[in-house]
Amino acid sequence: MLNYNEALEIIKSEIQNLTLKTEEADIFESYNRILAEDVIADVDLPPFDNSAVDGYALVFSERNEWTIKSEVSAGNYSPVSITEDEAVLITTGSKLPVNADTVIPIEDVEVDNGKLSLKPGAFFKKGLNIRRKGSDLEIDKIAVPAFTKIKPKTVAAIASCGRDKVKVFSKLRFAVLATGDELIPVREKPENDKIRVSNIYSLSAAVKEMNHTVLNLGFVKDDKNVIKEKIHSALESNIDFLITTGGVSVGKYDFLKEVFEELGVRRKFWKVNIKPGKPIYFGVFEKNGKKILIFGLPGNPVSSLVNFKVFIEPAIDYLFKQKETEMITAVLQNNLKKRDGKRHFARGILFEENGVWKVTSEFSQSSGNLVEMSASDCLIVLPEEIRNPQKGDIVKCIKI
């Protein structure tokens, strides 16, 4: 059976064959999209020499008294030139008077009857408090590179390059289908042996959290022909990923693998040496040069979401050259049972104490327990070689 890292590498090598589309996005709507072009400065940034503070602009000399000549405020520039004994009242961001080379902050001066003097002990040096034209970035240089995820901090730089529209990668399109005779709609009350369908909602939310789009295909019974029909039409639709849940293990009514094979999906792997989520199936469907990646995930709500977080999410980050998910190093607060050579992803709760991350994990760790999953905020990664980690051990955690 494949180990976790081997399986993830296979997914990464397939995902990079997807053809990425691009589109124009209004910067107002561009939050969390990924840039598909370098954004270039069309002007120097800042575009002119200006004052970094509210103060007095002057020509530096050894003197410490000046006559206030005039004033200039941001956006209301008119060319004035000054002599060594003159100063101009200036506001932050205002363009500098023609020959001024220094600005003294307003806090460092005393003003008396149109005369300005330096407060005793004020620091005064040529070139102080001036933001030079092009000092942030020169014209024609890259302000924001392609593959940057657009965040509030990025948008101002894009806007200042004169761009109200940018080229971004189109969102990936997912379809999610659940299978199982036991499933009923959420609004119905479970009777006898039925359970409410829940995992399509967690998986759809996981797709949306990554800012991609998802089509909810609902759920179907464990009837091979019905499943085949549904998946056949999904494969004909305009999607990049198909995620199914349930029916992918070794049970008598687990038809998904057969159905995929019969529909021409090329299996890349089935089963990975992990817990939970071991029965994961991964395959590729190709038609007329277009590829769809297929993930057959187990039905357990915990297993399917763990599969998404540890396989699909890192593979998409890799595709868009995003940083790998940050792992938090924490001190385990209780003993955990792990007797096998699988990689475990245990649910835990992180907290910080005296600057040190700690993680508690006093859960049943049942892969069917969606209430525990809801209460947890991380997956504790227990690599293959680890056995029965003890309180006080250092572990890595993935935030969820």
Binding site for ligand AMP (CB under 6 A): 178, 180, 182-183, 195, 197-200, 245-247, 249, 251, 298-301, 368
Q: Which does 365 bind (CB under 5 to 8 A by kind): Mg ion, ligand AMP, none?
A: none
Q: Which stretch binds Mg ion (CB under 5 A): 50-58, 173-181, 300-308, 353-361?
A: 173-181
Instruction: Considering the complex, state which of residue 185 and residue 289 has its C-beta at the smaller distance from ligand AMP.
Output: 185
Instruction: Considering the complex, state which of residue 227 and residue 330 has its C-beta at the smaller distance from Mg ion.
Output: 227
C-alpha span between 253 and 265 (Å, rounded): 20
Q: Cβ 301 to Mg ion, closest distance in Å?
A: 13
Instruction: Considering the complex, state which of residue 110 and residue 261 has its C-beta at the smaller distance from ligand AMP.
Output: 261
246 binds Mg ion (CB under 5 A): yes
C-alpha span between 300 and 307 (Å, rounded): 11
Q: Which does 198 bind (CB under 5 to 8 A by kind): Mg ion, ligand AMP, none?
A: ligand AMP
Q: Which does 195 bind (CB under 5 to 8 A by kind): ligand AMP, Mg ion, none?
A: ligand AMP
Q: Which does 178 bind (CB under 5 to 8 A by kind): Mg ion, ligand AMP, none?
A: ligand AMP
Closest residue to ligand AMP, based on beta-carbon distance: 299
Q: Cβ 365 to ligand AMP, closest distance in Å?
A: 15
279 binds Mg ion (CB under 5 A): no
C-alpha span between 146 and 45 (Å, rounded): 19
Instruction: Considering the complex, state which of residue 226 and residue 381 has its C-beta at the smaller distance from Mg ion.
Output: 226
The HSE-up count of residue 197 (CA atoms within 13 Å, CB side) is: 23
Find how far residue 124's CA is from the centre of its chain.
45
4-34 residues labelled b (16+ CB within 10 A) or e (exposed) = beebbebbbebbeebeeeeeebebeebeebb
Q: Which does 307 bind (CB under 5 to 8 A by kind): ligand AMP, Mg ion, none?
A: none
DSSP state of 35: B
Token pair 């327990």 is at which residue?
A: 369
Instruction: Considering the complex, state which of residue 246 and residue 277 has its C-beta at the smaller distance from Mg ion.
Output: 246
Cite the DSSP H helix spans in the chain.
4-15, 152-160, 199-209, 224-236, 256-262, 301-307, 313-319, 370-375
In the chain, helix, strand, coil percent, each to 5?
20, 35, 45
180 binds Mg ion (CB under 5 A): yes
**DSSP character string of 258-289:** HHHHHTTPEEEEE-BSEES-TT-EEEEEEETT
Q: Cβ 216 to ligand AMP, closest distance in Å?
A: 12
296 binds Mg ion (CB under 5 A): no
Residues that bind Mg ion in the complex, under the rule CB under 5 A: 180, 246-247
